[in-house]
Every structure is written in C-alpha cells, then in structure tokens.
Amino acid sequence: MDPVGVAAAPEAGPGPAWQSKCPWGTPKTASISCSLADVMSEQLAKELQLEEENAAFPEVVAVAEGPFITGENVDTSSDLMLAQMLQMEFDREYDAQLRREEKKFNGDSKVSISFENYRKVHPFDSDSSEDEVDWQDTRHDPYRADKPTITPKKGFIGKGKDITTKHDEVVCGRKNTARMENFAPEFQVGDGIGMDLKLSNQVFNALKQHAYSEERRSARLHEKKEHSTAEKAVDPKTRLLLYKMVSGGMLETITGCISTGKESVVFHAYGGNATEDDKVIPPECAIKVFKTTLNEFKNRDKYIKDDYRFKDRFSKLNPRKIIRMWAEKEMHNLTRMQNAGIPCPQVVILKKHVLVMSFIGQDQVPAPKLKDVKLNSEDMKKAYYQVLNMMQRLYKECNLVHADLSEYNMLWHDGKVWFIDVSQSVEPTHPHGLEFLFRDCRNVSQFFQKGGVAETLNERELFNAVSGLNITAENEVDFQAEIEALEKMNEDHVQNHGKKVSTFSTDGDPPIYNE
C-alpha cells in the first residue's frame, strides 16, 4: 500500500477492485486524491488568490471622515474591519491550538521545545509573553523517529546481496519522512513518522514546496500586520480596543482623528453612558493612541530609563510594554496635575497603549494651541502669569517637570491655558530633570517675550522662580554648567545613599505667583 502515493482520480460507478477488497469496506464518498499536476496547479491558484487578496485588501486602515466607530455601524460597516477581527480571532484560536500541541509534545519532560516561532500572533502582542519558555533543546524527544541509517561516504553499506546504496528506495523514503519534521509544526504531515512511512522524492519535494510557501505566506501576513502597526493610523488590535470601548458603552462614538504625531494619534469621541469606577464619562473625550512603532521611542529612552519610578521595570520589558509605559506615565502625571488643580485633561481610562481623557475643546473642535491662537495683549499677559503659576505648582505640588513644555503643548480654552502631553514629564530629581526644566523655561520665556509680554522673566530668572534654586550665573553657558553640577551632585548622593531624595538646597520656597 502506498498511502500518500499519487493515485488516479476516482471513477464513477463501482469502485475499482482494490476497494472491494478493502477490509474496512467501500468508502461511501471516495476520497479525492489528486495528481501532482493538480497539487502544483492548486498552489498556483493559491498564489493567484493571495495576489488578489493583497490587491483587494490594501493595508491602509484609513481614518474615515465622520464617525468611524459607533455602536451601530461597527458590526457591518466595514468588511475589512470585520475580516481583520475574524482573522485575529482565528489567529488566537490557532495559537491556542499550537500551545496545546506544544504542551502535549513536551509532556512532563524537563526539556521542552518551544513552538513560539510558529505562532501567528507575535508573542509581544499577547499578554502571556512572560511565561513562555523560549529556549530549545532537542536532547530528549520521544516523538522523534529513529535516525535513518546513514550512508557512509563510500556510498553504500552492507556486503554482497545485502548492499544498500544511498539511492535505495527504502532508505531514501525513510529519510524523506524524517525530514518532514523540519516543516513547521502546524503543517499537517499525519503520523507518517511513527509508522515507518517511505516518501518518494517526488512527493516529498511537492510537500516541501507547499510547506515553504505556507510558511512564507504566514510570514508575509505577519509582516503586513506589523507594518500597518507602524505606519498607519490604527492597527487591528488598537481598533479592537477602541471597538470594545464603544461596545462596552464607555464611548458613544469615535468621530475621527484630531492629530497624527510622530508618537501618537489622537482621536475625538463622544462619551458614553457607562460609568468607569463611578466616574462619569465626560461628554467629549480625547483618545491618545501611543504608536506602537518602536523607532520613534528610541530617542525617548533617556526620559524613562532614568526615571526611578520605572527603573526596575525598564530592563525587563519588551518594547511593546515600554510603549504602554508611556501611556501609563501620561496617566499618572495627568492625575497628579489634576489633584493639584492644574488645568489639564482628566483621565478617563487607560487600556494598554490607549489613554482616554477629557477633551479640551468643544463640539469636536479641539482648543487651539498657544502657538496658533491670536491673543490680545491682556490675554497674553494673563496667559503668561498663569503659565508661571502652573509651572511652579507642577514643580512644587506635583513634583514634576513637564519636559516638553512649549506653545505646542499648551492649549487655550475657556479663557485659560491648559497643559497637555505629559507622557515624558519627569520628577526634578531625574538625572536630567533640571536640564529639561531649563529647556522648558527657555521655550516659555521666548514665546511670551516674542508675544510682547514686557513682564516676562528671562529663562534663568524663570528657572529660579520655578525651582526655588538660586543659580546666579550671569550667562547661559555657566548657568547650564551649574545645573549639570547640581544634577551630578544629586546623582552621587543617590548612588551613595540608595535613595532618591533631592539634595538641591533652596533658599526657601519660591514665591508662587497667584493669579
């Protein structure tokens, strides 16, 4: 019997002689075997189909005009969305099955083999990535077939009529069967390995081809998913998160995109009726989606790596988790500011890399940035003193330095200034905290000076007014040097005492400007 052999197409009518002799009786529906040519053309058909799919499903997940996720339309409006969600479900089920197989495969063995590389959903994407065993060892492998006899260099073994060469059909067939193990684990090869199956070269090659093309296909799909994560507005996983927020009633409608930055995309949404921890959802929300592209965040390492609050965690995390940490950081910082009464968005909820907060603006129109709004001189002056006050309270009451403060991250709304974008904010004792503060002061000082506010403190005066330090250097270079010396002193102190306490001596608290 040749179970995988190339059989002729079944004929209609009474089965061929071998069928009636079959001890298991005549199969009701003859199994459809096919010729090698069919296999090959089937492959061709698949390739063509894949091409078609690629053309029909461009990877762009465009942000639609008007509401793009609402309670009503999400189920049916977008075939692409639906397909992506189904695909994601499928991938998850597939991975779950793979994990079961992996478990069965490894059994109680102390040495286990990981199937991780064959998963559809990248381990970084799943939450269970920590408990994966990813080292491999094949010393003990109960399922591995005995090694086929190795033919020595001379090309044959045995003597006389027992000679077998490397071309021997049986040896060759066994070798081919054993080599099937190299196919990806999801590739169905049956239990041929256990039953001393001998595969002809022809069949083996066809199978190998097919296994490789399946693997490539899977890799391509994966790459595409990754790519869309990096480049486009929202990747399927984020979309699913957003969808859940809408279907859970927390959000009513997500109307569209407000801003696409290097590191985040911000959407506008109308709040839903559900309450989150007894908090009433604001009528309008901003959703900040931290981009899961890794490149942009590399140069931000220094903000978070040296932040002692995150220090212990940093080294253990994978890049995707680090990005979630940015969102988490923004949430914590906003909460501190909220508690101190500094005008800023109010946190609604954080889910992974998606932060929902109250919307600063009205009727879907975000409040203008200070850089874009034309204020009269009275408002400009008012804004300046308000910013001075906010910077002081941020430092003193929240123990924070904004670290990216400029007219781009201050909004003008309801006749006052609002601080936003605080994911990179750090505590003043951060090894570069005072440098960040000095940079903030320079931006603020320059902006209001150009804006014609005569009372504006220069950057060094502003720095002292905010920090309560009394650096007397007359010029910028010396001032900067003193700042760095202070930072170094503090770091040394931390090194020696293992504690993060500020050693900055102040001549009493700076007078906080009251609006």
Which of the residues are catalytic? 404
**Residue 369 binding: pick among Mn ion, ligand ADP, none (C-beta 5-8 Å cut-off by kind):** ligand ADP
**Residue 101 binding: pick among Mn ion, ligand ADP, none (C-beta 5-8 Å cut-off by kind):** none
CA-wise closest residue to 9 among 33, 37, 40:
33
Give whichever of 228 and 409 is closer to Mn ion, judged by the CB atom. 409
Query: CA dist 172 to 143, 169, 450, Å?
Result: 20, 5, 83
**Minimum Å distance from CB 285 to ligand ADP?**
8
Q: How far is residue 186's CA from residue 239's CA, in Å, rounded to a whole number?
A: 28
**Minimum Å distance from CB 62 to ligand ADP?**
19
CA-wise closest residue to 353 among 415, 269, 291:
291
CA-wise closest residue to 326 among 288, 353, 299, 359:
353
Strand runs labelled E in 54-177: 69-70, 156-157, 164-165
CA-wise closest residue to 490 among 429, 409, 420:
429
Of all residues in this chain, which one has the CB nearest to ligand ADP in the complex? Answer: 261
Helix axes 459-467, 476-497, angle to 10 degrees: 30
**Residue 343 binding: pick among Mn ion, ligand ADP, none (C-beta 5-8 Å cut-off by kind):** none
**Minimum Å distance from CB 78 to ligand ADP?**
24
Residue 2 three-state SS = coil
**Minimum Å distance from CB 343 to ligand ADP?**
11
Give whichever of 84 and 406 is closer to Mn ion, judged by the CB atom. 406
Structure tokens at 270: 């109308």
DSSP 425-452: -B-TTSTTHHHHHHHHHHHHHHHHHHTT
Binding string, residues 371-410; x marks residues near Mn ion by CB under 5 A = --------------------------------------x-
Stretch that binds Mn ion, among 344-352, 391-399, 416-424, 481-489 (CB under 5 A): 416-424
Residue 340 three-state SS = coil
Q: How far is residue 396's CA from residue 3's CA, in Å, rounded to a whole number?
A: 79
**Minimum Å distance from CB 469 to ligand ADP?**
28
Give whichever of 113 and 426 is closer to Mn ion, judged by the CB atom. 426
| Element of type H or E holding 379 | helix 377-396
**Residue 435 binding: pick among ligand ADP, Mn ion, none (C-beta 5-8 Å cut-off by kind):** none
Give whichever of 409 and 443 is closer to Mn ion, judged by the CB atom. 409
Give whichever of 421 and 459 is closer to Mn ion, judged by the CB atom. 421
Roughly how many angstroms between the first and final C-alpha of the chain, as a whole number? 93
Give whichever of 393 and 402 is closer to ligand ADP, judged by the CB atom. 402
**Minimum Å distance from CB 420 to Mn ion?**
7
Residue 425 in contact with Mn ion, rule: CB under 5 A: no
Residue 275 three-state SS = coil
**Minimum Å distance from CB 288 to Mn ion?**
10
Which of 284, 421, 440, 487 contacts Mn ion by CB under 5 A?
421
Give whichever of 290 and 463 is closer to ligand ADP, judged by the CB atom. 290
Structure tokens at 365: 């129109």
Looking at residue 319, its amino acid is: P
Count CB-CB contacts under 10 A for residue 429.
22
Interface with ligand ADP (CB under 6 A): 258-259, 261, 263-264, 266, 286, 288, 345, 357, 359-361, 366, 369, 409, 420-421
**Residue 366 binding: pick among Mn ion, ligand ADP, none (C-beta 5-8 Å cut-off by kind):** ligand ADP
**Residue 259 binding: pick among ligand ADP, Mn ion, none (C-beta 5-8 Å cut-off by kind):** ligand ADP
